[in-house]
């Protein structure tokens, strides 16, 4: 259980670091694109960081219908790998999926201060639920 909690903390730190790096990269690219440009805010509905083949590797955006803000990192098959999201109602959630885009780990808040963690097997069956 402690190992799982350490892994979750490590994934959260990694995702936060990637999000910060993404913002820095976008700001740097914008400045380099227009050397004389001066701005305080970059407005976008969706930002995608792509690899050398043009495949999105990191996505940052807001879902228009729900108002959910997210950072997602697809796996090598271009399916969902990691999703960090704050729902339109303000509830944070982290989902880690396997190679087939099946959710295997989900951590979030069900309500104020009510942390929930689910671990699923390859068939989607919950094998660990915290709290029970």
Could you give the CA distance from residue 48 to residue 61 in angstroms, rounded to a whole number? 9
pLDDT digits (tens, 9 = 90+) for 44-85: 888 888 888 888 888 899 988 888 899 988 877 777 888 898
Residues in contact with 100: Cβ distance below 8 Å, sequence separation at least 6, in sequence order? 77, 79
Domains of the chain: 2-130 (3.90.930)
Task: Inform me whether the pLDDT recorded for 37 exceeds 70.
Answer: no
DSSP string of 30-68, one letter each residue = HHHHSTT---S----SEEEEE-TTS-EEEEEEE-TTT--
DSSP state of 128: E
DSSP state of 132: -
């Amino acid at each position: 259980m402690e190992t799982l909690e350490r892994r979750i903390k490590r994934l959260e730190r990694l995702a936060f670091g990637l999000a910060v790096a993404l913002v820095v990269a976008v700001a740097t690219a914008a400045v380099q694109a227009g050397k004389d440009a001066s701005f305080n805010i970059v407005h976008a509905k969706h930002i995608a960081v792509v690899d050398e083949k043009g495949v999105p590797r990191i996505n940052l955006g807001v879902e228009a219908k729900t108002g959910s803000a997210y950072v997602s990192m697809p796996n090598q098959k271009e399916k969902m790998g990691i999703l960090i999201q704050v729902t339109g109602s303000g509830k944070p959630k982290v989902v880690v999926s396997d190679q087939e885009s099946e959710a295997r780990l989900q951590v979030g808040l069900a309500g104020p201060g009510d942390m929930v963690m689910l671990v699923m097997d390859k068939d989607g069956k919950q094998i660990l639920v915290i709290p029970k």
